Structure 1
Amino acid sequence: MKVMTVCGSLTFKDEIMKVAVEMELRGHVVLTPIIPANHAKDAFSEAELKILGKMHKEKIKLSDGIFVVNVNSYIGNSTKSEIEFAKSLNKEIIYYTDLIEEHLI
């Protein structure tokens, strides 16, 4: 069992949730980003977005690694920052596209 934090653009919220469920069914503890109930990008103020970003990095600190949901190889700036942060902490990094190519998800 590992503790993994899912990272990725909220554009891929459906994939993020699918991955989270699949990982938990395989026996892992999964930490996910906060997805607004109405799924609107403007659901949070700039100050709130900064807090959520900081909390997401705290999740990465608690994790054994991160799972990057990079549909069609897309990685936005926030996710790039999270990957670099995870690398700086020597965390395991798994990419969604790698697992799709290997037919593991």
Structure 2
Amino acid sequence: MEKRKVVTLCGSVRFWNKIQEMSERLELENEYVVIGIIPHVMDRNLTESEKDILGELHRIKIDLSDAIFVVNVNGYIGESVKKEIEYAKEKGKEIIYLENN
């Protein structure tokens, strides 16, 4: 069996359903190992400390990955995702987009 590429999903939680869809699709159809986004961030407002922790954890996920997969529905890329893309580029990770910009 060929080694699967590890990807971290990046995208706005406003597109949560598409993020979940892509997680399933990437694993089942394209043979990726997907590191996802914590789902509970939509259920309540996070403190600044919690946002910092989640940002740090997301950077660690990117470090563990071969690539990031940007779920950019209708080309939308928010400020936090732009930072994640820049971080991934600095680390030499492949950047894969759902939609070409």
The answer to whether the superposition gives a TM-score over 0.5 is yes
Change (3 A) 1:68 1:41: farther
Q: Deviations over 1:36-91 (max 9, x none)?
A: 17x3351x221111101100010000000000001111100100000000000111
**Corresponding residue of 1:97:** 99
Pair 1:23-2:11 in alignment: no
When normalised by structure 2's length, the TM-score is: 0.89
Q: Distance in 2 between matches of 1:50 and 1:41?
A: 16
Q: Distance in 2 between matches of 1:13 and 1:92?
A: 22
Q: Which amino acid aligns with 2:27?
A: E
Q: Which amino acid aligns with 1:2?
A: K
Going from structure 1 to structure 2, the CA distance change for 1:51 and 1:3 (only over 3 Å counts) comes to same
Alignment: residue pair count: 97
Q: Which residue of 2 aligns with 1:53?
A: 55
Q: Which runs of 5+ in 2 are unaligned?
A: none
How far has the Cα of 1:28 moved from its partner?
Answer: 1.3
Which of structure 1's runs of 4+ aligned residues deviate more than 4 A? none
Kindly tell me: are residues 5 and 45 of structure 1, through their superposed partners in 2, closer, same or farther at Cα, counting changes over 3 Å?
same
2:56 is matched by which residue type in structure 1? K
Report the Cα distance in structure 2 between the residues aligned to 1:53 and 1:40, rounded to whole angstroms.
17
Gaps of 5+ in 1: 99-105
Aligned-CA RMSD value: 1.6
Summarize the Cα distance change of 1:95–1:61 in structure 2 as closer, same or farther, 3 Å threshold: same
Aligned counterparts, 1:1-105, within 5 A: 1-25=4-28, 26-36=30-40, 39-40=42-43, 42=45, 44-98=46-100
